[in-house]
Amino acid sequence: MTERTIQQLDAPVSLAMRPVTLAAAVVAAGYAGLNTIVEREEIDHPVLALAALALIALASTILWLASSPLRAPFRRRHSSLAVLAGVGAAVTSAASMIESNTFVRDDWGQVSVGILFLGLVPYRPAREIAGFGALAAVALGFLALLQAPSLGTAAPPQVFSFVAMLPVLAMSFGSATLAAGIRTAVERWHRLAERASRRFGEEVHDGIARSVQQEHVTVLNRDVVPFLLNVVERGRVDEGSRARAAELSTALREVVVAGVDRVWLQTVLLEIGEAESALDGDAGALEQLTSDERIAVRAFLARLVRHRGFVAGSVRVRVDRDTERVSVELAADVASGDVSHRNAFGPYLGVLRVAFPDLTITSEGDGLRLKFSYGNR
């Protein structure tokens, strides 16, 4: 994990915070449109004013689309494009009022750009938000210096520059602080949960061992003990007894080996009622999955089997491993169209995409197919 973002650390938290991003996108564009209407008397070049609104709308659209769980993860290129479009909108808006602008403080550019940074909180690192904010503030401060001679207010150029930079610096640095605080809280919660999980594992270890032992004892009591008692009662061992002993030995060995060789995904499929599902290939490679990756896969499978159109027993998993990567293909039959698939599984697919950035999703008729990979560890 190269980026310590809220989305990368805990995808469900970023999903819960997505309304903040959507609100920031709407408010940034809405404020620009409202301010343009209110200050229309100062507009010298309507075409540039419309272009500025188009650019801020583009920035908001990037935030809206890139934050979708179906497009996760939210990458640096998305944030940089949104910020560039926002700064471009501010520059174009200033150019549209180049001859009639009276005050810098009532321009919408710096405020809308600052609001955009609030939308980046769930998805980008704090340092990146602060860095982009500082760069955007410098650009808008320099723009204010260029505007100073034509402004209708008498004041030192540095004052106009400070006024233009302040909203962007305040909102971007505030957003960076918020992102860092939430990330720290999520990391602390993960540490506490991991410690609790280890303690719980230690507590149930003996119980699990007893359960496995009891399973083997049950097999012995059901098949082996009656056979031995029968042999003792008869007082002799014939060819039939030898053949039966070989059968029981093979069966018992298969039970023991199956318990030892059972991989994590087989246990999950048993728990969700899909014991008959097909698991092919190098299934042992699934043991390399991290806890977060296992949670993402298990959550999706649990939601999949609860879907009203799911066909029981249709889950098919194939695992292939080479020297560098492990590839997983997961397929199932779900009686639903592509749009419904995305609506029903959207958040779960978003979490999967964060865990496995190369995730691909295809729907063919009633078939849903997922492909993803991870490093061979």
Find the helix packing angle between 46-66 and 11-38, rounded to 10°: 170
Q: Is residue 304 part of a domain?
A: yes
Same domain (yes/no): 186, 211: no
Instruction: Look at residue 184 and tell me if it is in a domain.
Output: yes
Q: Tell me, what CATH number does 269's domain have?
A: 3.30.565.10
- Same domain? 275 vs 302: yes
Predicted confidence at residue 179, as pLDDT, reads 92
- 273 found inside a domain: yes
pLDDT at 254: 57
Are residues 245 and 336 both part of a single domain?
Answer: no
Candidate from 208-217, 278-287, 314-323 with smallest mean pLDDT: 208-217
220 burial (CB, 10 Å; 0-12 / 13-18 / 19+) is: middle
- What is the tens place of the pLDDT at every residue in 84-116? 999 999 999 988 887 776 666 678 889 999 999
Which of 186, 185, 178 lies closest to 24 in space, CA to CA? Answer: 178
Say yes or no: 273 and 212 in one domain. Answer: no
Q: What is the dihedral angle through the alpha carbons of 344, 346, 347, 353, rounded to the nearest 10 degrees?
A: 140
Plot region of 19 (φ>0 → left; ψ -120 to 50 → alpha; else → beta): alpha
Q: Are 113 and 83 in contact (CB under 8 A)?
A: yes
- Per the CB < 8 A criterion, the answer to whether 318 and 328 are in contact is yes
- The residue-averaged pLDDT of 182-198 equals 77
Indicate if 239 and 290 belong to the same structural domain.
no
| Nearest 10 degrees: Cα torsion 260, 291, 12, 330 | -50
- Based on the domain organization, do 11 and 71 belong to the same domain? yes
Let me know whether 341 and 356 are in one domain.
yes
**Separation of alpha carbons 100 and 110, rounded Å:** 18
Q: Is residue 160 part of a domain?
A: yes
How high is the pLDDT of residue 335?
Answer: 77
Task: State whether 125 and 142 are in the same domain.
Answer: yes
Looking at the domain assignment, is residue 199 inside a domain?
Answer: no
Question: Using an 8 Å Cβ cutoff, are 11 and 350 in contact?
Answer: yes
Q: Which of 147, 168, 191 is the last residue of a domain?
A: 191
In the DSSP assignment, the letter for residue 281 is E
Domain check: are 279 and 180 in the same one? no
- Run of H or E including 218: helix 157-219
Spatial CA neighbour of 33 closest among 17, 49, 14: 49
Do 60 and 85 touch, CB atoms closer than 8 A? Answer: no
pLDDT classification of 339: cutoffs 50, 70, 90? very low
Residue 216 and residue 282 in one domain: no
Are 14 and 105 in the same domain?
yes
Q: Could you read off the pLDDT of 9-18 as tens digits, one per residue?
A: 877 888 889 9
Q: For 11-25, 43-57, 325-339, which range has the lowest pLDDT when averaged over its residues?
A: 325-339
**Residue 82 pLDDT more than 70?**
yes
The helix/strand/coil state of 356 is coil
Could you report the per-residue pLDDT of 140-160, keeping only the tens digit for each? Answer: 999 888 777 666 566 677 887
One domain for residues 230 and 103 = no
CA dihedral 66, 68, 73, 79 (to 10 degrees): 20
Q: Give the domain extent around 164.
A: 6-191
Last residue of a domain, one of 149, 165, 191: 191
Helix residue ranges per DSSP H, 43-108: 46-66, 76-96
Q: Is 242 left (phi over 0), alpha (psi -120 to 50) or beta?
A: alpha
Residue 244 covered by a domain: yes
Q: What pLDDT is recorded for position 264?
A: 74
Tell me the C-alpha to C-alpha distance, in Å, between residue 256 and each of 33, 52, 216, 375: 70, 70, 8, 31
Which one-letter amino acid corresponds to residue 63?
Answer: L
Residue 368 lies in a domain: yes
Rg over alpha carbons for the chain, rounded to the nearest Å, is 31
Contact status, residue 87 vs residue 140, Cβ threshold 8 Å: yes
What total number of domains does the chain contain? 3
Q: Is the peptide bond before 73 cis (omega within 30 degrees of 0)?
A: yes
User: Which band of pLDDT confidence, cut at 50, 70 and 90, is reported for residue 256?
Assistant: low
